[in-house]
């Protein structure tokens, strides 16, 4: 695949498609069959969405397909309980220790609390906390609590979610094990409400329909500390977001949490509907859907996708960088003669009397996948760039460049070669150039560098004089 004619958003989509293709071959696992609605889904479906911290969504595959959220609802109901009662009251009822057991295990800790909110016992307890403390709760009261729950989930997703009535009816009709869990909790005095009402709420929340884009947006809302970047609305507090990320890290993927943190390192939650939600703090949200499940009840291709995202795009949460977000330190234009010296951080300044033909972007921070993605998109969408022929990108204040970010910068000519711009890169420490040599085979696994590499210069002076000579040539 050559990338020289693509802008960088299609480059990112290309990465995602590549990952999707790599995972497509695996048809192991089985769709959930404890209710007929889940047994009937097309097992071959696959969708992947990624939502950047500013709300921009990338999607490949079956991203319009709706499926039931199932256990991915658990962190959201937990968030509602935390918001409504505070952390202390919730901690008194639900632990935060990984259980190392199956999601539907009937067990509690020494204090007779469910071990964590990501297993069914903890999730049913969290749901019970959204109901009044009465032994008998009327159906209308459950309806009202559910309406509040749908509002909350919808605010996280940025669109109105609806319940799959058939799945709900089936969950309710076949939920003996969950009923056993709720009644066991009730026998311990762990539920302060009507256990049937708590179960009803739990069955309903599991039956809400979502797409991979919804999951990616919910994931990014958690990653952004509780504010949905697509709507700008705060849905829950930063401390709640931190809590969710913590329990998703230690308990989100059930047994095997240690392996998940080590090999993937993305806080996540799976559901038996085949969805997985990922949330990378401060960076992005992930939604994957593929219905065949492994023995733990996690989507086989979903898990594989997360492994690839982590390894190929450097998305492990402990990918050590100074700042996960690279920033554009300053943007300025230089005219036909000489460098503009009159700029201040973050502000645009134009040299008076000069034609704006060369635009300079100075970057700082560390260049990771999400940093490179957002910077390239901001540069790509900068309308002032249309008036320029030459773009200089200065990266002397960049410390670390991830292999994938390097290829994004080089491979797409910052997404600008395709728009007829000449791109010059000022890279005094040889970060990008050296890196490509060193990146070698690993980089090749993703995408090949296009033919139109940006010109690399080691000083600003050299880039500017090159730009000047190009302008002179252009003038003749
Ligand atoms: N892991 C899951 O997604 C389980 C959800 C399912 N509705 C249950 O309660 O058994």
Confirm whether residue 6 is marked as ligand binding: no
Give the tokens for residue 350.
Answer: 């134009």
Continuous segment of H or E residues that includes residue 340: none
Helices and strands, counts by H and E, the chain: 17, 14
Total residue count of the chain as it appears in this document: 476
8 Å CB contact between 335 and 328? no
Q: How far is the CA of 311 from the centre of ligand 1 (A)?
A: 29
Instruction: Name the catalytic one among 31, 272, 326, 391.
Output: 272
Query: What distance in Å separates the CA atoms of residue 33 and residue 177, rounded to the nearest whole number?
Result: 15
Tell me the C-alpha distance between 378 and 381, whole Å.
5
User: Given 56, 254, 332, 361, which residue is catalytic?
Assistant: 254
Which residues, other chains included, contact 94 with Cβ-Cβ below 8 Å and sequence gap of 6+?
78, 81, 113, 114, 116, 117, 122, 125, 126
74 has catalytic annotation: yes
What confidence tens digit (pLDDT) does each residue in 297-322 have? Answer: 999 999 999 999 999 998 999 887 65
pLDDT in tens, 417-455: 777 788 888 888 877 765 544 444 433 333 334 445 677
Shortest-distance atom of ligand 1 to CA 72: 3
Nearest residue to 374 (alpha-carbon basis) of 63, 51, 59? 51
Cα–Cα distance, 124 to 77 (Å, whole number): 9
Ligand 1 pocket, Cβ-based, cut-off 6 angstroms: 70-71, 103-104, 120, 171, 178, 206, 271-272, 297
DSSP, residue by residue, 300-334: HHHHHHHHHHHHHHT--TT---S-SS-EEEEEEEE
Centroid of ligand 1 to alpha carbon of 207 (angstroms): 10
Nearest CA to ligand 1 atom 4: 71
Q: Is 178 annotated as a binding residue?
A: yes
All domains of the chain, ordered by start, with CATH?
Answer: 9-313 (3.40.710.10), 327-475 (3.30.750.24)
Q: Which of 15, 58, 153, 202 is catalytic?
A: 202
Is 319 among the annotated ligand-binding positions?
no
- Angstrom CA distances, 361 to 34, 268, 347, 458, stand at 56, 35, 11, 15
Is 71 annotated among the ligand-binding residues?
yes
Report the C-alpha gap between 215 and 88 in whole angstroms.
28
Q: Respond yes or no: is residue 202 known to be catalytic.
A: yes
Question: Which residue reads 């080590």 in tokens?
Answer: 262
User: How far apart are alpha carbons 218 and 55 in whole angstroms?
Assistant: 11
261 is catalytic: no
Per-residue pLDDT of the chain (476 residues; tens, 9 = 90+): 333 335 667 778 889 999 999 998 899 999 999 999 999 999 999 999 999 999 999 999 999 999 999 999 999 999 999 999 999 999 999 999 988 778 888 888 989 999 999 999 999 999 999 999 999 999 999 999 999 999 999 999 999 999 999 999 999 999 999 999 999 999 999 999 999 999 999 999 999 999 999 999 999 999 999 999 999 999 999 999 999 999 999 998 876 678 899 999 999 999 999 999 999 999 999 999 999 999 999 999 999 999 999 999 989 998 876 555 667 888 888 764 444 444 444 333 333 334 447 889 998 888 888 888 888 888 888 877 887 888 888 988 887 788 888 878 766 667 777 777 888 888 888 777 655 444 444 333 333 344 456 778 888 888 888 887 776 665 54
CA-CA distance, 188 to 127, in Å (whole number)?
Answer: 17
Q: Residue 223 has which token pair?
A: 């990653």
CA distances from 36 to 102, 174, 207, 350 (A): 22, 10, 13, 65
Pairing of the two strands 227-228 and 233-234: antiparallel
Residue 271 · residue 261 · CB < 8 Å: no
């Amino acid at each position: 695949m050559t990338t020289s004619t693509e802008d960088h958003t299609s480059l990112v989509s290309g990465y995602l498609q590549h990952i999707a293709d790599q995972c497509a071959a695996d048809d192991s696992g089985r769709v959930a069959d404890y209710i007929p609605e889940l047994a009937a889904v097309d097992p071959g479906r696959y969708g992947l969405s990624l939502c950047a911290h500013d709300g921009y969504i990338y999607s490949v595959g079956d991203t319009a397909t709706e499926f039931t959220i199932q256990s991915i609802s658990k962190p959201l109901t937990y968030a509602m309980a935390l918001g409504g009662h505070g952390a202390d009251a919730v901690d008194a009822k639900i632990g935060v220790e990984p259980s190392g057991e199956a999601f539907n295990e009937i067990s509690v800790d020494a204090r007779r609390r469910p071990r964590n909110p990501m297993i069914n016992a903890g999730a049913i307890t969290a749901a019970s906390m959204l109901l009044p403390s009465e032994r008998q709760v009327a159906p209308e009261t459950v309806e009202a609590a559910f309406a509040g729950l749908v509002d909350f989930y919808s605010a996280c997703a940025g669109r109105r979610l609806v319940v799959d009535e058939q799945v709900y009816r089936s969950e309710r009709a076949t939920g003996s094990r969950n009923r056993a869990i709720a009644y066991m909790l009730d026998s311990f005095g762990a539920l302060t409400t009507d256990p049937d009402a708590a179960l009803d709420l739990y069955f309903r929340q599991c039956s809400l329909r979502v797409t991979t884009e919804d999951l990616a947006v919910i994931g990014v809302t958690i990653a952004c500390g509780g504010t949905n970047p697509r709507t700008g609305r705060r849905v829950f507090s930063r401390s709640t977001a931190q809590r969710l990320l913590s329990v998703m890290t230690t308990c989100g993927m059930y047994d095997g949490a240690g392996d998940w943190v080590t090999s993937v390192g993305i806080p996540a939650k799976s559901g038996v509907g085949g969805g997985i939600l990922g949330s990378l703090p401060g960076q992005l949200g992930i939604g994957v859907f593929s219905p065949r499940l492994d023995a733990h009840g996690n989507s086989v291709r979903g898990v594989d996708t997360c492994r690839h995202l982590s390894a190929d795009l450097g998305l492990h949460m402990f990918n050590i960088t100074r700042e996960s977000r690279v920033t554009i330190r300053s943007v300025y234009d230089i005219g036909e003669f000489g460098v503009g010296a009159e700029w201040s951080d973050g502000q645009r300044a134009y040299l008076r009397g000069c034609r704006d033909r060369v635009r300079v972007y100075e970057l700082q921070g560390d260049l990771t996948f999400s940093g490179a993605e957002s910077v390239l998109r901001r540069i790509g969408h900068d309308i002032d760039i249309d008036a320029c022929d030459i773009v200089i990108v200065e990266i002397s204040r960049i410390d670390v460049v991830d292999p994938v970010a390097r290829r994004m910068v080089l491979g797409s000519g910052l997404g600008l070669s395709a728009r007829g711009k000449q791109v010059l890169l000022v890279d005094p420490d040889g970060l990008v150039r050296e890196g490509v040599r060193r990146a070698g085979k690993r980089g090749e696994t993703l995408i090949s560098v296009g033919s139109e590499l940006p010109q690399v210069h080691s000083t600003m002076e050299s880039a500017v004089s090159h730009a000047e000579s190009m302008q002179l040539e252009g003038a003749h």
